[in-house]
Amino acid sequence: MIWKLRFLIIASCFATCLHAQVTAADYERAAHLWDKYKGLALNIAEEPHWIEDSDSFWYRKTVEGGHAFVVVDANALVKRPAFDHEKLAAALSSASGGKYTAVTLPFSDFEFVDKQGAIRFRIERQAWRCDVVKYVCEKAGTPEPEDDDGGYDNTPRAVNSETETVGSPDGKLEAFVENYNVYVREKGKPEKTVLSWDGSEDNYYALSTVVWSPDSRHLVAYRIRLGYKREVHYVESSPADQLQPKYSSMVYPKAGDVLALPQPVLFDIAGKRAIHIDNALFPNPYDISRAEWWKDGRGFTFEYNQRGHQVYRVIEVNAATGAARALIDESSPTFIDYRPLVPEQYDTGKRVRVDVHDGKEILWASERDGWEHLYLYDGATGKVKNQITKGEWVVRAIDRVDQEKRVIWFEASGMEAGKDPYYMHPYRINFDGTGLTPLAKEDADHRMAFSPDGKYYAVTWSRIDLPPVMELRRAEDNKTLMTVEQGDIHKLLDAGWRPPEVFTAKGRDGRTDIWGVIYKPANFDPRKKYPVVEAIYAGPQGSFVPKSFGPWVQPLTELGFVVVQMDGMGTNNRSKAFHDVAWQNLKDAGFPDRILWHKAVAAKYPWYDISRVGIFGTSAGGQNALGALLFHPEFYKVAVANSGCYDNRMDKIWWNEQWMGWPVGPQYAASSDVDNAWRLKGKLLLIVGEMDKNVDPSSTFQVVNALIKARKTFSLLDVPGDGHGAGGEYGQRVLEDFFVHNLLGQEPPDWNAQ
């Protein structure tokens, strides 16, 4: 009897625990999973674009077989096709030689011109103009040159030419650079006046930095002392147009490199003289923004980001004296997150500020109290008048500022109790911090877009399981005027698509919720045990788990895996403390939180097998994936790392110094996958493209070198001619084979026999 019971238990385990052999048909389904659901979600509205000097906007939406463009008239509350799609498709096909239909137009973005009588758009590198009255299309100019990935050095170039000039606002004068110095002359006259004498080949005045004062009495130009010009060199082994390899290089500053030093210089036109500006407030710039004059000409401002990203200042320079002062002085013992929060209409090159009434007041964003919030500054004194927003939540965007009514419309995350703290919700608040008003109640992720005059806004919300809804609202009273679009996913659901499951668990501190999602196989059977594969990207610049509608899929699920994503500590859009975990410690990658999250899922779901956990990622995710096997091999068993920046000293300067600090110190070695390669346990596949212009391919080969020296076994796919995120369909299949072999314990199909 006991023997029979044991046999039944074993038989039951084989029926529920073992996976059927993965077949080529399973791979085929995985390869076409995106295609299976493509086009089945209808009326999915994309970003609204308000038309200049109007109360109308256009957007693109999904329709049967492709897309359609729609215009909404907010005053009349009507919507119509943006143009005759069939006529435009015929005209464009005739002019370009392509074959387009009304729903397969080859662009997703366009611009109305000629009072909406024509549109401009781009097909690859070629700009086009199509008359939408007569329906005639023509090329607009010559094609843009092929992207040569012109490097990561943004140093303003030296221009010595009398023909390249910057005209004064009054139209009387023009400035130019000759022999690396600044000159001015009256327009149309040959006589010229030199304003500077100290320019030279390696310490020159850059024409692109010249900015005139509104009254044409002064101008400012930056003198640029050159830094170290590091180059990364490439060998394209298998070019398509010749037998022999090609050689190239690109400028690529890396962490610790000597940077160019920009020095603003003020010029008095009438006095024909330079006015020295003391650089004590901006001695060591990582970056200095372009100068911007106050409208009354009293002075100009620029923003100074100090090397190391721990000091950020708004500097004002007096036009009469050249005296510099810090209007805003931001500092942090870790890093300053200076991402722009303002939409395009307010973005003039400044980072996180809006000038009110020509700088009499300044709206500023800061994490100084531990959360990203808005502050109101007195522009005359440089003192904080009041903190506008406050609480354990973060401001994510400023959508509109009404300077007369002193009202701000913004988007924030984390204010709504019990809701996903990453969802963005719209709000309104007064300059003095009163009148905080939620503008939407939906438990979803929101985006707003205001009309140019501020009378209306379009708001769109969705979740990973809720298709987008777009509404038109009146700003004055937040009244909904019309439902513009309502997404329809019934065909998608009928085809078998299911959204990933949202799951939360406590992080390493026992208090903070870590949010993630779980993708299950289409034929999911809760009686089985499923190996788990984590898709990782833990870059501190953002958060990466999807929050809005996709539809999202993971091809590995078709092969019998559960795939997951989560945002651990060290990623962005939560508190400053949550974010600071990454400071000088990129190897952390939120792994203590991620592992606890995995264990919490396993505790709830018996089918979630954490004895077989794999991980894959690209770029920073590649660094993370390899780091999982180096620093947490007790949990992660298999990793596929693609195009990784495995040593932050080898990667582009801004991203790595932002999070790892400057000067370069021992923290870089501590987080290096190269220096720690000897720790490798588990199964590793590295993928790299020999022409990666994002991350130096040598970063991968230095890992390879270290692994060989440590006598470690690993796999490598080096893809000729390919760039960042190398491999394409072939690389995806190799990734799938690697997980099938090492996590499922099966042999993949014999692809060479097919």
Residue 676: what pLDDT?
Answer: 98
pLDDT band at 351 (very low <50, low <70, confident <90, very high): low
For 53-75, what is the mean pLDDT? 97
Per-residue pLDDT tens for 484-501?
A: 999 999 999 999 999 999
6 pLDDT above the threshold of 50: no
- The mean pLDDT of the chain is 95
Inter-CA distances, 133 with 58, 83, 88, 126, Å: 17, 9, 10, 22
SS3 state of residue 185: strand
| Run of H or E residues at 603 | helix 591-604
**39 belongs to a structural domain:** no
pLDDT of residue 347: 43
Q: What is the pLDDT of residue 340?
A: 82
- Residue 682: give the domain boundaries: 501-749
pLDDT recorded at residue 633: 98
What was the pLDDT predicted at 725?
A: 97
Confidence of residue 8 (pLDDT cuts 50, 70, 90): very low
Q: What is the 3-state secondary structure (H, E, C) of 352-401?
A: CEEEECCCCEEEEEECCCCCCEEEEEECCCCCEEEECCCCCCEEEEEEEE
Tens of pLDDT, residues 634-665: 999 999 999 999 999 999 999 999 999 999 99
Q: What's the pLDDT at 103?
A: 98
Is residue 98 in a domain?
A: no
Whole-number Å distance between alpha carbons of 559 and 20: 10
Q: Is residue 128 part of a domain?
A: no
Rounded to an integer, the average pLDDT of 90-110 is 97
Percentage of residues in the chain having pLDDT higher than 90: 93
Amino acid letter, residue 52? E
DSSP assignment of 613-658 equals EEEEEETHHHHHHHHHHHH-TTT--EEEEES---STTSSBHHHHHH
Per-residue pLDDT tens digits for 402-415: 999 999 999 999 99
pLDDT at position 9, please? 37
Q: Is residue 153 part of a domain?
A: no
Res 364 pLDDT > 80: yes
Q: Where are the beta strands (DSSP E) in 665-746?
A: 683-689, 715-719
Is a pLDDT exceeding 70 seen at residue 12? no
Q: Which of 504, 557, 499 has the alpha carbon at shortest distance from 528?
A: 557
Question: Residue range 497-508: average pLDDT?
Answer: 98
Residue type, position 176, single letter: F
pLDDT of residue 149: 57
* E-assigned strand segments in 493-649: 501-506, 513-519, 530-535, 562-566, 608-618, 638-642
Cα–Cα distance, 396 to 726 (Å, whole number): 32
Q: How far apart are the first and last CA of the chain?
A: 49
Q: Report the distance separating Cα 748 and Cα 221, nearest Å.
A: 63
Question: pLDDT category, 346, cuts 50, 70, 90?
Answer: very low
- What is the pLDDT, as a whole number, of residue 3? 42
Q: Do 314 and 326 touch, CB atoms closer than 8 A?
A: yes
Is 675 inside a domain boundary? yes
pLDDT at 156 over 70: yes
With a cut of 80, say whether residue 31 has pLDDT above it.
Answer: yes
Question: Rounded to whole angstroms, how far apart are CA atoms 649 and 669?
Answer: 9
| Window from 244-253, 305-314, 333-342 with minimum mean pLDDT | 333-342
Please tell me the predicted confidence (pLDDT) of residue 144. 85
What residues are paired with 248 via a beta bridge?
A: 234
SS3 20: coil
Nearest C-alpha neighbor of 397 from the set 411, 413, 383:
411
Q: Is residue 292 part of a domain?
A: no
CATH code of the domain covering residue 711: 3.40.50.1820
- pLDDT for position 395: 96
Is 604 part of a structural domain of the chain?
Answer: yes
Q: Both tokens of residue 571?
A: 């990623």
User: What is the average pLDDT across 45-64?
Assistant: 97
Output the CA angle 540-545-548, nearest 5 degrees. 125
| CA–CA separation, 580 and 329 (whole Å) | 20
Q: What is the pLDDT of residue 147?
A: 61
* pLDDT above 60 (res 70): yes
The enclosing H or E element of 740 equals none
- Tell me: pLDDT of 272 over 60: yes
Looking at the structure of the chain, the number of domains it has is: 1
> What size, in residues, is the chain?
754
Sheet with strand 353-356: strands edge to edge? 353-356, 361-366, 373-378, 384-387
Residue 14 has pLDDT above 70, yes or no: no
Q: Convert the pLDDT of each residue in 185-207 to its tens digit.
A: 999 999 999 999 999 999 999 99
Asked if pLDDT for residue 227 goes beyond 70, the answer is yes
Alpha-carbon distance of 562 to 598, in angstroms, equals 12
Q: Which of 42-56, 134-148, 426-440, 534-548 has the lowest mean pLDDT?
A: 134-148
Q: What is the mean pLDDT of residues 410-439?
A: 96
E strands, 132-192, are: 136-139, 161-167, 173-178, 181-186
**What pLDDT does 342 receive?**
67
In angstroms, the CA 222 to CA 236 distance is 38
pLDDT surpassing 60 at residue 452: yes
pLDDT at 1: 41
pLDDT for position 151: 79
In a domain, 272, yes or no: no
Mean pLDDT, range 337-354, rounded to an integer: 65
Q: What is the mean pLDDT of residues 470-483?
A: 97
For residue 406 the two structure tokens come to 């002193």
> How buried is residue 527: exposed, middle or buried, by Cβ count under 10 Å (0-12/13-18/19+)?
exposed
What does the pLDDT average to over 289-297? 96
pLDDT digits (tens, 9 = 90+) for 121-152: 999 999 999 999 999 999 999 998 876 556 78
Cα 140–Cα 144–Cα 147 angle in degrees, nearest 5: 155
CA-to-CA separations, 360 to 342, 346, 351, 357, 429, in angstroms, rounded: 19, 16, 18, 6, 20
Tell me the percentage of the chain whose pLDDT exceeds 70. Answer: 96
340-to-301, 437, 462, 494, 668 alpha-carbon distances in Å: 17, 23, 24, 41, 27
List of long-range contacts for 311-319, beta carbons under 8 Å, 24+ apart: 311/336, 312/336, 312/338, 312/351, 313/281, 313/282, 314/353, 314/362, 314/364, 315/281, 315/282, 316/359, 317/220, 317/264, 317/266, 317/277, 317/291, 319/213, 319/217, 319/218, 319/266, 319/293
Give 20's pLDDT tier (boundaries 50, 70, 90): confident
